[in-house]
Structure 1
Amino acid sequence: MRGGYYSLSTIYTLEIRISLMVKYIKHGCLLLLFGIFFLPLYVYAAAETTPALLVMEGNKIVTAAGVRMRAAITLDAKVLDKLALGTVVKATKRTREKVRTGSVTGYWYYVTHQGKKGNIQGWVFGSLLGDFRTGKEEATHWALVQQRRVKKRSDFADYAQLYQYISTILPSIKNIDIQANLALEQLLSLQKAAEKISYDKEKIKPYSLFLAKHKKDLFYDEISGRYLIPNERYLALSERYAQSAAGDKLTWFAANAPTGGECEGELECVFMRMTMQEGMYLHRYTDGNYAKEALTAVSKILTYMINALRSAPKEYDYLRFKELKKEQQTLLRVIKQGKTVTTLRQKVIEQLQVLPTVMKP
């Protein structure tokens, strides 16, 4: 500036600065307008996507295997922990309304779980939880086990977790009938889990770890190509709970538990196995709930034996059959003691009376 006049370069610089100021003011107004008109809509939309909550207090039990606890009410949220079947959690909040999650609609619960590293809190979808009320604990456990037992398309993990769940709660069960039923389901779930382990999986985790853990509980049957629980375990269970209401059922399961091996047509073996299974059941429960099934099985075996002996008597060693007559007489006496007289029972009695006549040399 000389003599009160600005140079051309100075004027040009001022014009640029004024232009930028106007531009920033315009942008500021636009941002302000955006905030005034659109921010409330954004906040409203966010509020709409966050479900309203209810404060509550109650215990819940996990009703599935490997249930995910999440950081938020969405299936995309971070997984904080996986809850095993039968885990009891404390719920302190839930969504006010049911929320559609995938193809299912239900509440979400905010729960606390005692994990390996302390308390963990997060959200679990309600269809994977059940009520766990004080005073109803044992009945709830038994109902859940029954529910899981009949689950369709169960895999190794389902049965392994069911076994672990029962093993965890069994020592705390006081009701003798529930205890007996759970003890049976414990064996059955162990058997089912073992049956899911094919030969090519034996050395792969988690199957190898499972077999190593239960090497004293299972044996490998070459004939059937599968792992089995020794029949003695079922028998011991039926004897332990013989006086309970579940004793009848336990004995029937013991009679039908797979024993491994095969008789390969040897009639002596067929007869002795029958006396140790169906015969054993009838000896303990002559008029039991499964007497009809037991008598039907005995009748089938006796029909097979009598027909085989009559059609080809020279193919069998009769001297060995003489050793079985004592068992035949014992079984005959047991079946005659039945108070329920039926056509089937009478048929079996007649077959047992015929058997010694066709065993004669």
Structure 2
Amino acid sequence: MKIIQHPRPSFRSSPSFRFFRSSRSIRSAQSSHPSQFSQFSSLIGVFSLALALVQLLTPAPGWCEGEQIFIMGSIVRVRAEPSTQGKDVALVKFGEMLQMLAKTDKPERVGNLEDCWLQVKLDGKTGWLFGGLACLFDTGRPFDSYEKAFDKRLEIYEAGRDDALAFFKFVQEKLKAAADSDEKLFFGFYRLRALQYLVARMTRNGGNSGNGGNSRKAIMDPVVKPLADNLVFSEPAGEYFVKSDILWALHDLYKQAALSDRIARKIVDMPLPGETEGFYSAMVAREEMTYGEYLTRHPDGQFVEEVLTHLEKFFRPSVPDKISNEIEAIHGGEASALRKYLDEFKAILKKVEHPKVVDVMKAIDGNLEHLRDDK
């Protein structure tokens, strides 16, 4: 297994080498026209040598010796060699920060995760840990680093109660120590996400606490029970979700925080309980409860263009005739509900100043044109 300790760009993969390789095709022409190519070839040589020296003297992008890594497992083994068969050197816990010294050049699969092995510095010794349970951490950008680490942890579905609980407790302690609005909003949001993650891990996997996949027992867990009012059970999904009004209330409590726009965009992507069952009015209502809520709170936010692009595609699908026929078939109570939601969306959009608003408005008006009123 090859170990990378001082990574530098490979000269053979560099633009200089590609330039040299491509110049081979010139050589045949050079033999027939030497006077025209001699000066050009000299320039190529000088340029390529200079570029190669610059590349060798420039630090490689990405990681380098001395970077900090954040541990994302409840208990992560540090081994003498980069292998699951390596002898244990130490055990590290969720949230610990270690200095990385090197990494293996090729990823390896451990369980359901695939990543490289990282060599880390411990007290008076070194060892290797699996990178799937760690994340690079830039101490100069703590919120960005925590966001990356937490989101990576949330993507690990095959986890037991211990890992999920360690994640939840870490975020909860950070929330208790929060000193300003940004920290309170950021860690408050991720505490709720970690809570949902914990319950899901106990419900799906049974964890190691005897819950056996029983959602009722999971919600009554001593750690979860005090916060159970923040959750609602979704029968279609078969699991508990954080209530959307709780998430938006948290956002609104710290709406002046610099991170409020960023957290609002994350709330949009949180799952909602129930299902639309194919009813277009319900689909529109779901869009209003997510993307519409974002626009209401951040009409000039950094994600407005992204949100408007999504809404235009939603209201003006790739198969317009299909949605037109579906809308024309709507009648009775659903027709009234749909008209209400569409009118509410237009009211929200009128407060947003962005060129794409016109496109979304036209798409909504197209929906309204096909919506017939029952006489």
1:322 paired residue number: 336
Distance in 2 of aligned mates of 1:62 and 1:263: 40
Q: Of 347, 355, 364, which residue of structure 2 is paired with 1:352?
A: 364
1:180-329 equivalences in 2 (<5 Å): 180-197=185-202, 199=204, 201=206, 204-205=209-210, 211=219, 212=221, 213-215=223-225, 216=228, 217-303=230-316, 307-308=321-322, 310-312=324-326, 315-318=329-332, 320-329=334-343
**Matched position secondary structure for 2:123:** strand
1:78 is displaced (CA, Å) by: 9.7
Give TM-score scaled by structure 2 length: 0.57
Distance in 2 of aligned mates of 1:88 and 1:170: 18
**Matched position secondary structure for 1:170:** helix
Structure 2 residues not aligned, in runs of 5+: 1-67, 80-85, 103-116
Q: 2:234, 2:274 within 8 Å by CA — same for their partners in 1?
A: yes
Q: Deviations over 1:195-247 (max 9, x none)?
A: 43454627953777764232514343221233322222222222122111111
Supply the RMSD in Å over aligned alpha carbons.
Answer: 4.4
Give the number of the structure whose alpha-carbon radius of gyration is greater. 1
**Matched position secondary structure for 1:316:** coil
1:94 paired residue number: none
Letter in 1 for 2:201: K
Cα distance change, pair 269–144 in 1 and its aligned pair in 2 (3 A) = closer
**Matched position secondary structure for 1:354:** helix
1:78-227 equivalences in 2 (<5 Å): 84-86=93-95, 105-109=119-123, 143-144=145-146, 146-150=148-152, 153=156, 155-156=158-159, 157-197=162-202, 199=204, 201=206, 204-205=209-210, 211=219, 212=221, 213-215=223-225, 216=228, 217-227=230-240
**% identical aligned pairs:** 17
Q: 1:303, 1:351 within 8 Å by CA — same for their partners in 2?
A: yes
Q: Deviations over 1:43-77 (max 9, x none)?
A: xxxxxxxxxxxxxxxxx99835325799xxxx868
**Matched position secondary structure for 1:262:** coil
1:63 paired residue number: 71
Cα distance change, pair 222–360 in 1 and its aligned pair in 2 (3 A) = same
Q: 2:251, 2:264 within 8 Å by CA — same for their partners in 1?
A: yes
Letter in 2 for 1:356: L
1:350 is displaced (CA, Å) by: 0.8
2:39 paired residue number: none
Q: 1:237, 1:250 within 8 Å by CA — same for their partners in 2?
A: no
Cα distance change, pair 146–178 in 1 and its aligned pair in 2 (3 A) = farther
Cα distance change, pair 306–241 in 1 and its aligned pair in 2 (3 A) = farther
Give TM-score scaled by structure 1 length: 0.59
Q: Deviations over 1:164-193 (max 9, x none)?
A: 101012121113223322222222233334
Distance in 1 of aligned mates of 2:361 and 2:184: 37
Distance in 2 of aligned mates of 1:86 and 1:231: 28
Cα distance change, pair 288–77 in 1 and its aligned pair in 2 (3 A) = closer
1:333 is displaced (CA, Å) by: 3.1
**Matched position secondary structure for 1:184:** helix
Equivalent residue pairs, number = 270
Q: 1:282, 1:335 within 8 Å by CA — same for their partners in 2?
A: yes
Q: 1:220, 1:227 within 8 Å by CA — same for their partners in 2?
A: yes
Distance in 1 of aligned mates of 2:237 and 2:194: 19
